[in-house]
Amino acid sequence: MMIIGADYHPGFQQIAYVDTETGELQERRLEHPEEAEKFYRELATQGKKVRVGMEASGHARWFERLLAELNFELWIGDAAEIRTKRVRKPKTDRQDAQLILKLMLEDRFPRIWVPSWENRDLRQLLWHRHRMVQARTRIMNQLQAVALNEGLRAKKRLWREAGREQLAALRLAPWARRRRQELLELLDQLNPIIGELTKAVEEEAEKCPEAQRLMTHPGVGPLTALAFVLVIGMAERFGCGKQIASYLGLPEEDSSGERRRLGHISKQGNSLLRFLLVEAAQVTVRSNQEWRSKFFHLAMRRGRKIAKVAHGP
């Protein structure tokens, strides 16, 4: 078997590899994508059984697809844990590749769960819808500002038929009039797109028993439920709910004795799911009297933002 430790970068990868049959150790730098693809395809034509290890990294989808096409085994490692196993302070690409290879040979490589291609593609659906909704919100905010500047304060009524007529009837200067017209056209283009994406999310949630079960919780709809299932994946890899909260970057507990303290949100984990969980908490607060009382009690002491996040997990 050929075991390869790869220090992956967007433009190249530094590799250290060993043939377990001969014990021969070699190092190479492979430019992306032509040189790297040629190297791995040559190994496939030689009938080699290959295992590649690399740190979790972005911008590597093409490389993962290539290895899957060649039926090569890919191990993705926790970058933070790999960093803690580094003994020397000097850090180079060669040393990183050698360290990954060493950890793989010694069976100490901190391998992490990697979602399937189907899982990743469904995440693209969620992200695409989320970005489209964000774009629509920005357009709506701009149109609200146009209306307010002309004395029209309609809030949500602005998007009803009568409100749209009032907005369209406002007498504006030429460039302001053009801005209003083009923003309205963009809004009309985005609405059916978001509707189609929302329907697709609902259909995928219906196919998923785990998502259906999550939707029995107050405030959890198809979008939040499906996002939770896709991001968490194999729930068995977590020991408890606190580990899931930490994985998502939600507040961690730092308690001692009788003192119980929850920390701040971190930037680790999936930002979309964090956003959806906080949104679900706000819906729950509006619809569930018990949680509403707890929310306002905490909001009076710590503020509304902290209260929303505290109810999100």
Query: Average pLDDT of 276-301?
Result: 71
Residue 111 lies in a domain: no
Model pLDDT, residue 290: 67
pLDDT at 86 over 90: no
Model pLDDT, residue 271: 83
Quickly state the pLDDT bin for 262 (edges 50, 70, 90): low
Measured from the Cβ of residue 101, the count of other Cβ atoms closer than 10 Å reads 23
Quickly state the pLDDT bin for 218 (edges 50, 70, 90): confident
| Percent of the chain scoring above 70 in pLDDT | 85
Asked if 281 and 219 count as a contact pair (C-beta separation under 8 A), the reply is yes
Do 122 and 60 lie in one domain? The reply is no
Query: Average pLDDT of 269-296?
Result: 74
Residue 152 lies in a domain: yes
Quickly state the pLDDT bin for 62 (edges 50, 70, 90): very high
Query: Average pLDDT of 129-151?
Result: 96
Using alpha carbons, list the distances in angstroms from residue 309 to 130, 155, 293, 294: 20, 26, 15, 13
CA distance 59 to 55: 12
Lowest mean pLDDT among 66-80, 153-167, 276-290: 276-290
* Domain total of the chain: 3
Residue 215 lies in a domain: no
> What are the tens digits of pLDDT across the range 263-278?
566 667 788 888 887 7
Confidence (pTM): 0.76
Given 47, 80, 105, the domain boundary residue is 105
Residue 212 lies in a domain: no
Residue 234 lies in a domain: yes
Residue 166 lies in a domain: yes
- Its domain, for residue 48, covers 2-105
Do 246 and 289 lie in one domain? The reply is yes
